[in-house]
Amino acid sequence: MKQYIIDDLRPGEYEKIKTYLDENVGSSKIDGIYWIQLDENILTNIQAEHKECQPFYFALDIEPNVVSCELLVRSRSIIRCNCISYATESQRNWIIKFADTIFEKLDIAT
């Protein structure tokens, strides 16, 4: 699996990030997993055409020492479809910027 990983979180940073995600994204049924909706403006042509599969997400996983963002763009309504794929360059950059912005807002050095 391709991922963007920020590791070696210091004490207290995990709780700070988790609280931010709980308040701004909302948690999923699986502890530590957050579904982040991708901006519609960066969907591929196939993803934009597949209205029944929208919206598209990436998974962010937080553990006490690490935050990881999957670089797989997926739908929560269907498991297999040709619109589900690894992030394009612009999607990858958007995902990385999303994660980095959280650290900037919380004043956590990466």
Cβ-based neighbour number of residue 43 at 10 Å: 20
Residue 8 has pLDDT above 90, yes or no: yes
DSSP-assigned letters across all residues of 26-65? ---SSTTEEEEEPPGGG--HHHHH-GGG-SEEEEEEEETT
Domain count, the chain: 1
**Predicted structure pTM score:** 0.91
Q: Is residue 49 part of a domain?
A: yes
DSSP 77: S
Q: Structural domain of residue 77, as residue ranges?
A: 3-105
Q: Is residue 110 part of a domain?
A: no
pLDDT, residue 26, reads 78
Q: Is residue 89 part of a domain?
A: yes
Q: Is residue 47 part of a domain?
A: yes
Q: Is residue 62 part of a domain?
A: yes
Q: Is residue 9 part of a domain?
A: yes
Burial of 12 (0-12, 13-18, 19+ CB in 10 A): exposed
For residue 48, give the amino acid letter.
Answer: A
CATH number for the domain that contains residue 25: 3.30.530
Tens digit of each residue's pLDDT (9 = 90 or more) over 29-74: 888 999 999 999 999 999 999 999 999 999 999 999 999 999 999 9
Q: Is residue 24 part of a domain?
A: yes
Q: Is residue 40 part of a domain?
A: yes
